[in-house]
Amino acid sequence: MDIYIHSAGIISAAGDNSNEAFLASAPAYDADRLLCDGIDYTAYIPAMQLRRMSKAVRMGVVAAKICMQRAGIEKPDAISIGTGLGCLNDTEHFLSKMVTQDEQMLTPTSFIQSTHNTVGGQIALLSGCHGHNLTFVQRGHSFENAVINTALYLDENPFHNMLTGGIDELTETSLAVLKRAGVYSAEPRGPESILHHTRPGSIAGEGSGFLLMAKSAKRGALCIKGLSLFVTKDTGVALRKVDDFLQQQQLTSGDIDLVMLGTNGDGKYEAFYHQLAQSIFQNNSRAAFKHLSGEYPTAGAFALALLSHVAGMGDIPSFLLAGPPPRRLKHIVLVNNYVNHYSCWHLTVA
Amino acid sequence: MHQSAYIVNTGLISAIGNDTATCLDALVTGRSGVGKAQYLQTHWRDELPVAEVKLSNAELAKLAGADKDWPRTAFLSLIAAREAWQPYADKGEGLRVGFFSANTVGGMDLTEDFYASFLQNANAGNIASVANHECGAVTELVSNHLGIYDFVTTISTACSSSANSIMMAAQMIGRGMLDIAVAGGADSLSKFTLNGFNTLMILDKLPCQPFDQNRRGLNLGEGAAYVLLMSEKAMQQCGATSICRVSGYANTNDAYHQTASSPEGTGNKMAMLKALKVAGLQPADIDYINLHGTGTANNDSSEGLAVSVVFGDKVPMASSTKGFTGHTLGASGAVEAVFSALSIRDGIVFPNIRWQTQMEDVPWKPVTELKQGCDIRHVLSNSFGFGGNCSSLIFSKS
């Protein structure tokens, strides 16, 4: 695959990566949700425009801006987006008015912004990007599919770059519904509980991760070497697929410097992550990320952006690690899941 | 593209028929599917005509052979995808198969009912009815039913969604990442989309008249369409023959407005030119354009001007088929890809029905009568959507 990540932009419950405060301190909370409410968007978007943007659009547009700013560009050549649930706030707003007003006296704004490709369209509009611009909505593989699209695009346009991102917002409704469905924990939890699978449901989250991707190598940049996706309800199958991926990438435990796992505190996935930590990856340094982001369909975009950011820092904060720090950072494996959708990444630091 | 992706079969359900052959018959005999809603329960049923698939959910479930609790979009998707895939389903031993779908509405029809109860009480409403709310969930119901697992994706770029899923499928076959792809999209009518488009004041209260000077707007439709794409190797193994191949594709962005097209159709023009470049063709090579042609004042003007810029005074035969099917949103790119393939296969060009008056700002006229016995070698199909999304596909005789 060999796609280089030239920069990353992050909007998360743990802050945005535009300043030194990001990753400066360990997360501390006792909550049932991790929201991106503390972000100051006004530094990036005029207040007038900001008022018309839903949270999903703000998170997406600003993470894209941070990403481009860090790469020193104002406009990408192309855009590829993943979102599991799309612009939920606007969808609910229009739906609720439609139901309560019996289909009458409705206004278009929230309908217009409820479209799944709103974020991609807004980034194109604000940056004047006329290039290829797709949005993927494949549950826990939405962002990963956007990356596959990036690989296809860069193959055909090897001198271009592509702004690739994942966004999902949490609403009161999605929180309530996904609690009832057992995806999210009914009880408040602390960061420690995300690292240990003891209770049903994970902590709800939201956020946005954007990456500027290109074929051209950049020293110190994260490079995507391989990506494998699978859907299964069976832990045994999932473990075998991770094994298959490592073999296909010709990676043995000794080659791997860091393993980042999508541990999310949900007892349903304890067997999977526990097995990985105790068998294939037992001798590897391990890290986690969902105690910063919470769980959502495109949390993989946050993980990749976080790894890109950390690779640039050259140092991994201890609160991301479960165990000893890596001796060096060359080969990284990222294994993540959102419900039954799993992804395995092989990354290197160039 | 490294190798060609060939269309070997199609599947289609829309307001003008429940399979490809019936839809084709309607196009040839001039039978439109636009009329009063019979199944969509809406306040606007007497005022806004729609192009409904003429079956209830219970009838669709039966025809699909699927669980009765699926969203309507999933029924439509399965019926059309299976028509395309079924003849070859047991011939692909050892080949890698992908399912590329697209939709904009997901399981919204069921969510609408759930939400009414949920608004009264957060513990009310049947949670199972929103389990398939996500666009990707609808795709997975169908891919699981068909037993396709090697690659499954859903693209949602509004009205160009399924043109983009065909583009991506052709790219992955082109690169040898897959051997076979079922690619297209589906969308059912819902109160959500009908009311949404109604607030934009772009729905026609009468059957629509694309590319007519006095056009009043679009009619929403519903349906699903898929093309079965194969590599040469897969065609040999499956004993399939090519109808045509996907020779060109492009996706561009108008970057002008969230819902409206730029007056001069910048994104539309770029998409057509790029697709021609990918196909290695000149504008003069195109024999037929299946227009996006929604019937709105804005779309037809900007698309019409973009076509003029690309083709100059030699605009090929061109028509919008939305007068028959309505605007099937996320399905429309695939519906029209199937029509494009049929145009090449049968040497026919479909009429732009209800056209009466020449547009003042567009110098060319769409084809208004059925043309038969033509040698159609290359067809260009346009699909444009919200978010400035512009897609053009080119299909070529192989």
CATH of span B246-396: 3.40.47.10
- Fill in the DSSP letter of residue A182: T
Mean of pLDDT values over B42-49: 98
Q: Do A114 and B137 touch (CB under 8 A)?
A: no
Judge whether A124 is closer than 8 Å to chain B, CB to CB: yes
Residue A197 has a pLDDT of 62
Judge whether B131 is closer than 8 Å to chain A, CB to CB: yes
Domains A3-214 and A222-349 share a fold: yes
| Nearest residue in chain B measured CA to CA from A86 | B134
> Is residue B1's pLDDT more than 70?
no
CATH superfamily of A3-214: Thiolase/Chalcone synthase (3.40.47.10)
Alpha carbon distance B83, B279 (integer Å): 28
User: CB within 8 A of A252, min separation 6: which ones?
Assistant: A246
Q: Do B191 and A98 touch (CB under 8 A)?
A: yes
Domains B5-238 and B246-396 share a fold: yes
Residue A211 has a pLDDT of 98
Mind listing the pLDDT tens digit for each residue in B288-312? 999 999 999 999 999 999 999 999 9
Give the burial string for A146-157 (b: 16+ CB within 10 Å, else e).
bbbbbbbbbeeb
Is the distance from CB of A176 to CB of A88 less than 8 angstroms?
no
Q: Do A133 and B253 touch (CB under 8 A)?
A: yes
Mean of pLDDT values over B1-15: 93
Residue B122 has a pLDDT of 86
Q: How many angstroms separate the Cα of B322 from the Cα of each of A235, A307, B242, B385?
A: 47, 48, 26, 15
Select the residue of A85, A102, A118 nearest B387 (Cβ to Cβ): A118
B2 falls in which pLDDT band (50, 70, 90)?
confident
Alpha carbon distance A286, A257 (integer Å): 9
Mutate: best of B43, B172, B195, partner A, most A CBs <10 A: B195
Share of chain B above pLDDT 90, in %: 95
CA angle, corner A115, sides to A114 and A119, nearest 5? 95
Select the residue of A117, A124, A128 nearest B158 (Cβ to Cβ): A117
Q: Which pairing describes strands B180-187 and B378-385: parallel, antiparallel, or unpaired?
A: unpaired
What phi and psi, each to the nearest 5 degrees, are found at residue B373?
70, 25
Mean of pLDDT values over B314-323: 98
Domain borders along chain A are 3-214, 222-349
Residue B200 corresponds to which tokens in the numbers above? Answer: 């934009």
Count residue pairs from A and B with Cβ separation < 8 A: 171
Mutate: best of B386, B390, B391, B393, partner A, most A CBs <10 A: B386
Domain borders along chain B are 5-238, 246-396
Topology (CATH level 3) of domain B5-238: Peroxisomal Thiolase; Chain A, domain 1 (3.40.47)
How far is B397 from chain A, CA to nearest CA, in Å? 23
Q: Mean pLDDT over all residues of chain B?
A: 97
Q: Do A152 and B122 touch (CB under 8 A)?
A: no
Alpha carbon distance B163, B249 (integer Å): 9
Q: Which of B40, B75, B45 has the alpha carbon at shortest distance from B58?
A: B75
What phi and psi, each to the nearest 5 degrees, are found at residue A127?
-100, -5
Catalytic annotation, residues of B: 159, 292, 327
Select the residue of A100, A103, A181 nearest B195 (Cβ to Cβ): A103
Residue A29 corresponds to which tokens in the numbers above? Answer: 């909370």
CB atoms under 10 Å from CB of A64, counted, come to 30
Mean of pLDDT values over B140-149: 98
Residue A23 corresponds to which tokens in the numbers above? Answer: 């990753």
Provide the H-helix boundaries in chain B. 20-29, 57-64, 72-85, 108-120, 135-146, 161-174, 191-199, 232-238, 266-279, 297-311, 322-325, 332-346
Alpha carbon distance B74, B155 (integer Å): 15
CA atoms within 13 A on the CB side of B165: 41
Q: What is the mean pLDDT of each run of 10 residues along chain A (350 residues)?
A: 96 96 96 95 93 95 98 98 97 96 95 96 97 98 98 98 98 95 94 80 97 96 98 98 98 96 94 94 96 98 97 92 92 98 97
Give the burial string for A288-306 (b: 16+ CB within 10 Å, else e).
bbbbbbbbbbbbbbbbbbb
Judge whether B132 is closer than 8 Å to chain A, CB to CB: no
CATH of span A222-349: 3.40.47.10
Alpha carbon distance A335, B265 (integer Å): 44
